[in-house]
Amino acid sequence: MQSSAALEYDYSVAKLYMWTTVIFGIVGMTIGVLIASQLAWPELNYLFGEYGTFSRLRPLHTNVVIYGFTVSGIMATFYYAAQRVLKVSLAELPFFNFLAKLDFVAYLFAAAAMVVSELMGITASKEYAQMEWPLDVAIVVYWVIWGIVMFGMIGARREKALYISMWYYIATFLGVAMLYVFNNMEVPTIFFSGGVGAWYHSVSMYAGTNDALVQWWWGHNAVAFVFTVPIIAMIYYFLPKESGQAVYSYKLSLLSFWGLMFVYLWAGGHHLLWSTVPDWMQTMGSVFSVVLILPSWGSAINMLLTMKGEWNQLTENPLIKFMILASTFYMLSTLEGPIQSVKSVNAIAHFTDWIPGHVHDGVLGWVAFMIFAAIMHMSTRVFKREIYSKSLLEAQFWIQTIGVVLYFTSMWIAGITQGMMWRAVDEYGNLMYSFIDTVSVLHPYYAIRAIGGLLYLIGMFMFAYNFIMTATAGRKLEQEPQFRSPMA
């Protein structure tokens, strides 16, 4: 990658999203720790009356970390990296710059409306698509404006060939647009009821098994296009930039990209194994989930090999640590997912805590670690300051790593214990345990998980402090660092 001293990039939008990443991270993870603790200590359900129960808060947790923390992180890195790989400054494109800022304001309003409506229990109830139709419309508008800005920037680019990260950002835009629109097809009741009932209420276009099929086509691929594709975009940009190493293999990145695009969408069926969805689709879901290991590991290995000959950086630079551990967790979680997608394993794992365990080794270990590294790398460039504290970053890294390990190991044990107890029979073939036995046995694991989550949250606060201090009090840099981010 060439340096681009000639161009003055405009980071105003990237900065705004960097701040919201930090804020939503704290909010979303705090709710996460609260609801994890509620499972271990149920009295915590009564802190905020009707609005504080586990059931009401759980979608708020998932949506704030997905649409708040992660989407903010995606947008921050996009508005930073896209300018640089396309060799075009947003300052040269006032119209698109304005649209991007407008879109940020729309984002804040949509996020606020999402939080309020979910606390009130106004929900379409489909997982990760709880928002009712007026909010869905707002979200689609927000997303389309982002697409317009992206293609506007691409149209004005100086670097003719799109860098790998751009492939993944384009795919993020298209994938989420397609999935979100089709999964949220719903009929507002107010158009038919002659003025009766709430104006924001709607019914799904699809019923029963069909609805399930579309929902998990979405649900699984929201993971693909929010938690995987744009995060790969980040690592392809920030790992080479931070380490000063060229991406190991262009061909491997090509294979991984197109492989991921083709295979991922089929795998949604693995959420519906042993359900009333036709058997052939369930098997397709299993088979493609296993095939998915190839493109997933392709990207991860490409990243690990990018460090070839420079592994010493792993001990010297905490940002490299975050990114390499992120790739490693990506490998773990993309091996674990296919294992859970095998029908016999799924018979035990489904409906148990192994599933949230799997989700969290992915999102805490891979997604959030990558976002932390990206934000710190960017902050030295956009604020033109040194990272405030290296030792704080190191401490955060270890505290959070321990947190993640506690989280997923306890949930593995909890999930398998529960799955085995549900099916255990005595010598006469009768069920051995009542349901509540299988709940009570989980208490220690729920407690360990809550502690793991708390450690991660503490790390999040350390990160927030480090970020704020970097932005406001870090030592001023004379010139932009070429590779390694300077830190005190």
Partner 1 sequence: MFHWLEKNPFLFAVGVFVVIAFAGLIEILPNFAEASRPVKGLKPYTVLELAGKEVYKKDNCIACHSQLIRPFKAETDRYGRYSLSGEYAYDRPFLWGSKRTGPDLHRVGNYRTPEWHANHMWDPKSVVPASIMPAYKHQFTNIADIATAYAEAVTVKKVFHTPYGDDIQPGKAAYEKYYKEKVLPEALKIAKAMKNKDVLDMVKQGKVPEIVALIAYLERLK
Nearer to partner 1, 13 or 60 (CB): 60
197: left (phi over 0), alpha (psi -120 to 50) or beta: left
Q: How far is the CB of 140 from partner 1 (least distance, A)?
A: 16
DSSP state of 385: B
For 436, counting Cβ atoms within 10 Å of its Cβ (0-12 exposed, 13-18 middle, 19+ buried), the class is exposed
CB of 331 to partner 1, least distance (A): 23
Can you say whether residue 274 is alpha, beta or left, with left for phi > 0 and alpha for psi between -120 and 50 degrees? left
Tell me the closest approach of the beta carbon of residue 461 to partner 1, in angstroms. 26
- Measured from the CB atom, the residue of 427 and 478 that comes closer to partner 1 is 427
- Please report, as residue ranges, which positions from 22 to 41 form the binding site for partner 1 (by CB under 8 A): 38-39
Residue recorded with tokens 């729309």? 106
Distance CA 404, CA 357 (A): 9
Closest CA to 380 of 468, 240, 480, 238: 480
CB of 376 to partner 1, least distance (A): 29
471-486 burial by CB neighbour count: b if 16+ within 10 A, else e? beebeeeeeeeeebbe
Q: Least distance to partner 1 from the beta carbon of 43, Å?
A: 9
Among 37, 53, 299, 485, binds partner 1 (CB under 8 A): 53
Give the CA-trace dihedral at 411, 415, 421, 422, to 10 degrees: 140
Tell me the number of residues near partner 1 by CB under 8 A: 94
Question: Which position among 356, 461, 469, 488 is part of the footprint of partner 1 (CB under 8 A)?
Answer: 356
What residues contact 72, with CB distance under 8 A and at least 6 apart? 17, 18, 20, 21, 24
Binds partner 1 by CB under 8 A, chosen from 2, 3, 6, 208: 208
Sole binder of partner 1 in the list 215, 256, 379, 466 (CB under 8 A): 215
109 vs 274, which CB is nearer to partner 1? 274
Name residues contacting partner 1, limited to 273-312 (CB under 8 A).
274-278, 281, 284, 288
Give, as ranges, the residues between 166 and 195 that touch partner 1 (CB under 8 A).
167, 170-171, 174-175, 178, 182, 187, 189-195
Closest approach, Cβ 126 to partner 1, in A, equals 5
Residue from 2, 3, 5, 161 in contact with partner 1 (CB under 8 A):
161
- List binders of partner 1 among 219-278 (CB under 8 A): 254, 258, 261-262, 264-266, 268-269, 271, 274-278
Neighbour-count burial of 149, counting CB atoms closer than 10 A to its CB (0-12 exposed, 13-18 middle, 19+ buried)? buried
Helix, strand or coil for residue 387?
Answer: strand
- Residues numbered 362 to 421 that lie near partner 1 (CB under 8 A) are none
Contacting range for partner 1; rule: CB under 8 A; set: 18-26, 124-132, 293-301, 302-310: 124-132
Q: Which residues in 136-155 contact partner 1 (CB under 8 A)? A: 151, 154-155
Q: Cα torsion at 289, 357, 275, 294 (round to 10°)?
A: 0
User: Looking at 211, 252, 395, 481, which residue binds partner 1 (CB under 8 A)?
Assistant: 211
Can you give 163-221 as a three-state secondary structure string? CHHHHHHHHHHHHHHHHHHHHCCEEEHHHCCCCCCCCCCEEECCCHHHHHHHHHHHHHH
User: For residue 430, which phi and psi values (nearest 5 degrees)?
Assistant: -90, 150
Nearer to partner 1, 45 or 400 (CB): 45
CB of 209 to partner 1, least distance (A): 4
Q: Which of 5/196 has CB closer to partner 1? A: 196
**Applying CB under 8 A, which part among 13-21, 54-62, 95-103, 363-371 lies near partner 1?**
54-62
Q: Return the residues of window 413-442 that contact partner 1 according to CB under 8 A.
A: 422-425, 430-431, 435-436, 439-440
Judged by CB under 8 A, which of 8, 50, 394, 480 binds partner 1?
50
* Minimum distance from residue 127 beta carbon to partner 1 (Å): 6
Identity of the residue, 338 or 474, whose beta carbon is nearer to partner 1 in the bound complex: 338
Single out the segment in contact with partner 1 by CB under 8 A; choices: 75-83, 117-125, 311-319, 474-482. 117-125
Among 94, 141, 158, 209, binds partner 1 (CB under 8 A): 209
Nearer to partner 1, 199 or 311 (CB): 199
According to CB under 8 A, which residues from 323 to 352 bind partner 1? 347, 350-352
In SS3 terms, 76-135 reads as HHHHHHHHHHHCCCHHHCHHHHHHHHHHHHHHHHHHHHHHHHHHHCCCCCCCCCCCCHHH
Least distance from C-beta 361 to partner 1, angstroms? Answer: 17
Question: Which residues 443-472 are close enough to bind partner 1 by CB under 8 A?
Answer: none
Measured CA to CA, the distance from residue 91 to residue 94 in angstroms comes to 6
Binding to partner 1, residues 87-106 (CB under 8 A): none
Phi-psi region of 140 (alpha: psi -120 to 50; beta: other; left: phi over 0): alpha
- State the CB neighbour count (10 A cutoff) for residue 195: 6
Is residue 340 within 8 A of residue 361, CB to CB? The reply is: no
Q: How far is the CB of 315 from partner 1 (least distance, A)?
A: 35
Judged on CB neighbours under 10 Å (0-12, 13-18, 19+), 275 is: middle
Task: State how far the Cα of 57 lies from the Cα of 49, in Å rounded to an integer.
Answer: 12
Joined together, the tokens standing for residue 421 give 């107890």
